[in-house]
Amino acid sequence: MQQWRINSILAFVLLFGLALIVRLFFIQVTQGDLYKAWAQGLYSLDEKIPGQRGEIFFKNGEPLAINMEWPLVYASPREVENKIETAQKLSQVISLGEETILAKLKKDNLYEILKKRITDEEISAIRELNLKGIHLGKEAGRYYPQETMASQLVGFLDADKEGQYGLEGYYNEILKGKGDKNGQSLVLSIDYSIQFMAEKLLTETKENLNIEGGQIIVMDPQTGNILALANYPSFNPNQYAMIADLDIFQNSATRKIFEPGSVFKPLTMAAALEEQKITPQTTYIDKGMLEIGGWPIYNYGNRVWGEQTMTNVLERSINTGAVFAQRQLGDRLFLEYMEKFGIFEPTGIDVREVYSENKEFKKGYDINFATAAFGQGIEMTPIQLVRAYSAVTNGGKMVKPEVVDKIIKNNDEITEIEPEVGKESVISAKTASQLTAMMVSVVQGLYTKGAQIPGYYVAGKTGTAQVAWSALGVSKSGYSDQTRQSFIGFAPAFNPKFLILVKLDNPETKTAEYSAVPVFRGLAKYIVDYYQIPPDY
């Protein structure tokens, strides 16, 4: 009996060993290539796991776009025993329709997401139900903690985790990294406090003057660093999928063209001053109207000013005076200076931008050059206008506007973006100084005194431009009653620390004196106090 047991055990061992040898032979020889390819496939798959996306921060470290892990609830449908009962119970705690849940539970798979970004209350309720086949998990995602703030500037990630619009789109390849390497993070030149105040003022202006839209740009005039890039209206990038009007995603400061109106007059003056065709004291006789090629040009309100200096022309925003300066310069030189001021080219700012070739203006008709002298019939973006003015604030040389100040790699290596200043002067330092003094006189005058800040010299100019029917999508020549009202200014005037453009779309008031000027003053006063800039006098 004992011998029989020993023989049985030996036979079992031999049979098991034989089976093992056959199985190993099958795996290693017969199916070796298959399993090798499978193993390599798994290894390759692991290699392609993407790294973490780089994050975006304001100048002083406040987060604008960050990565977070979000809780979710998912099902393993094959594990769920009573699908109808499970769907009924779940629908009561995760605010999802019973039929929707049931449809997912009926699928023949092992993993089916039921709901993403669930709340703490939903998590507790799911745990209490303790339903078989229902599990909690996490998903990595993008979060914008400032919500609507700087929304057009930052953009968003779409469902495929690709950057769309704003910095997310422009810097997508840098932010997402390559392969399993983490993306690089961005530190902006945008100052959180100045951006916040700019957006607050735009919102208040909507409440007070019912603007259709508006933009504010604040720039360091020596470096080109953008300190604020504000748009109204804005949106919440965390909920971009709920937005029906895709136009709201566009950054109007860099992607919407407009006719600037009288804020363009100082550039006309700068060109004429540089060519010594005029001085700030040059006079002419204003008769309230002049005719160019059979086309009449009037002053605002049909005012007649009589004898005026070029400084008076800016103070009182006289259209015929701007045309006088342009005529002294001549069409060819005027066109050359518009090219030097970058009106016909992109600024190079590190977000997506557009520009107008101004084909109509370039046709060479005298009337086109005349109206362009006071900012009508010539088109540009707000950022182009700001860049052109940087020549006035920077001793004659334009700077390249920049939004990103630093790029941080995953090993904490920091790359600082160096300011780009034009190698050649657009105007001389003398002309820049003369024009600055003229613009200080503008702010100290009757119509723009609301921009003054006690103790500081402020230079600036208003603009109230009519909107062409064509810009409104109407197939009709001429101009509508709608306006774009703006103010551009800088302070302290003779040693500028900031340059501000305020542009408001169709406010319920006649001129920029009552709309854009108070916004400029509020923001300029805030920056003076925030930076603790010493007074001029």
Q: Could you write out the DSSP letters of every residue in 9-48?
A: HHHHHHHHHHHHHHHHHIIIIITHHHHHHHHHHHHHHHHT
Which element (helix H / strand E) includes 198? helix 192-209
User: CB of 86 within 8 A of CB of 133?
Assistant: yes
Q: Using CA atoms, how far apart are residues 501 and 198, in angstroms rounded to an integer?
A: 11
DSSP, res 244: -
User: CB of 394 within 8 A of CB of 222?
Assistant: yes
Q: Using CA atoms, how far apart are residues 500 and 527, in angstroms rounded to an integer?
A: 10
**Residue 38 CA: distances (Å) to CA of 26, 35, 107, 495, 497:** 15, 5, 26, 69, 63
User: CB of 226 within 8 A of CB of 401?
Assistant: yes
Q: Using CA atoms, how far apart are residues 200 and 235, in angstroms rounded to an integer?
A: 14
> What pTM was computed for the model?
0.86
- Of 460, 465, 442, the closest CA to residue 262 belongs to 465
CA 300 to chain centre: 34
Per-residue pLDDT of the chain (537 residues; tens, 9 = 90+): 455 555 555 555 555 555 555 454 444 444 444 343 333 333 333 334 457 899 999 999 999 999 999 899 999 998 888 889 988 989 898 988 989 988 998 888 888 899 988 999 999 999 998 988 899 999 888 999 999 999 999 999 998 889 999 999 999 999 998 876 889 999 999 999 999 999 999 999 999 999 999 999 999 999 999 999 999 999 999 999 899 889 999 999 999 999 999 999 999 999 999 999 999 999 999 999 999 988 999 999 899 999 999 999 999 999 999 999 999 999 999 999 999 999 999 999 999 999 999 998 888 899 999 999 999 999 999 999 999 999 999 999 999 999 999 999 876 788 899 999 988 999 999 999 999 999 999 999 888 999 999 999 999 999 999 998 888 888 888 888 899 999 999 999 999 999 999 999 999 999 999 999 999 999 999 999 999 999 999
User: CB of 367 within 8 A of CB of 392?
Assistant: no
- The domain spans of the chain are 196-404+419-531
Assign 3-class secondary structure to 159-193.
CCCCEECHHHHHCHHHHHCCCCCCCCEEEECCCHH
Q: Using CA atoms, how far apart are residues 191 and 60, in angstroms rounded to an integer?
A: 7
CATH architecture label of 196-404+419-531? 3-Layer(aba) Sandwich (3.40)
Cβ neighbourhood burial of 61 (10 Å; 0-12, 13-18, 19+): exposed
Sign of the dihedral defined by the CA atoms of residues 432, 323, 488, 381, in that order: negative
Q: Which residue has the tokens 């103070």?
A: 315
What per-residue confidence (pLDDT) applies to 429?
Answer: 97
Q: Which amino acid is at 348?
A: G
Question: Which pair of structure tokens corresponds to residue 348?
Answer: 């190079």
Q: Using CA atoms, how far apart are residues 410 and 213, in angstroms rounded to an integer?
A: 39
User: CB of 288 within 8 A of CB of 304?
Assistant: yes
Strand partners, 63: 57
What per-residue confidence (pLDDT) applies to 41?
Answer: 36
Q: Using CA atoms, how far apart are residues 502 and 216, in angstroms rounded to an integer?
A: 5
SS3 398: coil
Q: Using CA atoms, how far apart are residues 243 and 235, in angstroms rounded to an integer?
A: 8
Q: Which amino acid is at 90?
A: L
Sign of the dihedral defined by the CA atoms of residues 442, 444, 445, 447, in that order: positive
Cβ neighbourhood burial of 409 (10 Å; 0-12, 13-18, 19+): middle
Q: Using CA atoms, how far apart are residues 207 and 169, in angstroms rounded to an integer?
A: 32
Q: What angle, rounded to 10 degrees, do the helices at 319-329 and 265-274 form? A: 30
User: CB of 273 within 8 A of CB of 279?
Assistant: yes
**Residue 210 CA: distances (Å) to CA of 202, 206, 233, 349:** 10, 4, 12, 30
**Residue 9 CA: distances (Å) to CA of 18, 21, 23, 305:** 14, 18, 21, 121
Q: Using CA atoms, how far apart are residues 111 and 524, in angstroms rounded to an integer?
A: 56
Q: Which residue has the tokens 């089916």?
A: 112
Strand residue runs (E) in 328-412:
404-408
What per-residue confidence (pLDDT) applies to 385?
Answer: 98
Sign of the dihedral defined by the CA atoms of residues 468, 472, 473, 476, in that order: negative
